[in-house]
Structure 1
């Protein structure tokens, strides 16, 4: 795999390596394809979605997957691992390898957002392996726990409203409605650090990604592979990722827009909203923007707006678009680079090559260690 695809990382660990005693049996396996690593360092937003799913083959285990989103909001697989269980040691090992082998070495940890559910051992592993990163909790899992505890769909809807709110006043209003409906539920929610789940209090860049959709979608992609032996599972992920890259190269070849397809649609909606606002100049970069409900401040140099959308999405909001109209500024210059169609093309420009059958493998320069099943 490493010979056919430059930059690919594969690490096999036996139990004696992990625990220092016992037989040479299979312990853990980590792999990440070179084109994914290269794209993540150059053209994809610094967001990592982490999830795990159970294997159903003869030898039980957990398949861990780290994914992100490309400039068109599509799933972008980063790395995988097969481990025995979802304990702290497994998560710490996986995240350390992500940091050392997949994440760009010239980036600081606090420039990355890790998004996950609160799986056993994962919270502690993220805090220890990436102490400067921003850890976001999946709202879907929190909502599921809330529903299980308090049996109320209304509370779940209000909780989602509080989580997605980009204004402090909207967040407080939703929390007050939750308290009025059920004080115990409000207390239960308040015990979860709000900087890990509420958009308005999140300190890093979350890009409005609050659910597990991407990570769980890839679990569905691999659904039929969870019964496969480990070697076949690895090859299955290779041709799935290979197919992703090829399909998206074909799709972007038809684009005539400056941004990716979804980003262009989002920007068009912002322009439509912006046409209804009244902008006023405060300085070269700061503008006051009036709407029927709010008065907001948009800073074009900092790419921020008090509505929260500009910095959350990485694309100009309606208020910023209205401000740009005063001086006829180019709206595309204020979009994050990963939304550009040219950046999207660079993301998928590399090819994931097939691996050859065993009869065509080169003779290794070292003795291969035979590992027994776990």
Structure 2
């Protein structure tokens, strides 16, 4: 079961799709793909410097007990259990009954719930939030280490230093005389794809159709363009 169902995965942060990070980075590098290798590295360095600086300032400005993204998840979880009520069965054990009669058992001291969200996400599920509220336990004390502000700030402590001047780097004679040829790879047929393919479970963004139709710049009538204008003027 651990190989097929995410809720039974034994790893931490199971819900993060590692392929999405690579695909999003590829999309961010779309503008620099046509550059030479050295210029591409400079483009990546400048982009990562901007990203780290923006996230470092955002994490440093945090004054709450939880990051904003974690608070957003908590709000979504509490919305999912509206209409439920809590029955305490032990000091730290609770039975949460949903509005449709479904039961979920919460163990606050072990940070577990039968819905599996609590122990897998390391963020209290809606059942755990209701149970914690009934005994006066703050939700921030139930959040895992990876989702706390300290870990968020430490992620962006490192600095992405700017590239040094090429003339200041000492290159050995052996490397300067080395000739590197391009790889022997044929180009695939057709136009290269610029947009990434959505992963399974993602919903592609549906573009809204224009409410105002295009007008011809020649006769100012809608429904066609200047090239296909039937007017003789």
1:242 correspondence with 2:23: no
Cα deviation code 1:246-286 (max 9, x no counterpart): 11123334433221111112213334555632222333333
Counterpart for residue 226 of structure 2: none
Give the SS at the match of 1:245: helix
Asked if the contact 2:32/2:43 (under 8 Å) is kept, the reply is yes
What CA distance in whole angstroms lies between the structure 2 residues aligned with 1:368 and 1:248? 41
Counterpart for residue 18 of structure 1: none
What CA distance in whole angstroms lies between the structure 2 residues aligned with 1:201 and 1:338? 19
Counterpart for residue 152 of structure 2: 344
1:316 correspondence with 2:124: yes
Counterpart for residue 276 of structure 1: 83
Deviation at 1:303, TM superposition (A): 1.9
RMSD, aligned α-carbons: 2.6
Structure 1 segments of 4 or more deviating over 6 A?
none
Which has more radius of gyration? 2
Cα deviation code 1:187-237 (max 9, x no counterpart): xxxxxxx74453244343454335843321111011222233333323322
Q: Could you say if the C-alpha distance between residues 211 and 343 of structure 1 is closer, same or farther in structure 2, counting changes exceeding 3 Å?
A: closer
1:304 correspondence with 2:116: no
Asked if the contact 1:274/1:321 (under 8 Å) is kept, the reply is no
Structure that is richer in helix per residue = 1
Counterpart for residue 133 of structure 2: 325
Counterpart for residue 145 of structure 1: none
Asked if the contact 2:145/2:151 (under 8 Å) is kept, the reply is yes
Give the SS at the match of 1:224: coil
Cα deviation code 1:335-364 (max 9, x no counterpart): 122322333222213321112111222x36
Give the SS at the match of 2:21: helix
What CA distance in whole angstroms lies between the structure 1 residues aligned with 2:144 and 2:179? 47
Cα deviation code 1:284-326 (max 9, x no counterpart): 3332211123101112233221112212322101111111123
Asked if the contact 1:275/1:322 (under 8 Å) is kept, the reply is no
Asked if the contact 1:282/1:288 (under 8 Å) is kept, the reply is yes
Query: Of 245, 254, 257, which residue of structure 1 is paired with 2:64?
Result: 257
Counterpart for residue 233 of structure 1: 40
Give the SS at the match of 1:349: coil
Give the SS at the match of 1:270: helix
What CA distance in whole angstroms lies between the structure 1 residues aligned with 2:18 and 2:4? 10
What CA distance in whole angstroms lies between the structure 2 residues aligned with 1:326 and 1:253? 33
1:202 correspondence with 2:9: yes
What CA distance in whole angstroms lies between the structure 1 residues aligned with 2:154 and 2:80? 31
TM-score for both structures, normalised by structure 2: 0.65
Figure out how many residues of one structure are paired with residues of the other and give that number.
179
Give the SS at the match of 1:238: helix
Structure that is richer in strand per residue = 1
What CA distance in whole angstroms lies between the structure 1 residues aligned with 2:92 and 2:173? 64
What CA distance in whole angstroms lies between the structure 2 residues aligned with 1:284 and 1:344? 32
Q: Which runs of 5+ in 1 are unaligned?
A: 1-193
What CA distance in whole angstroms lies between the structure 2 residues aligned with 1:203 and 1:350? 29
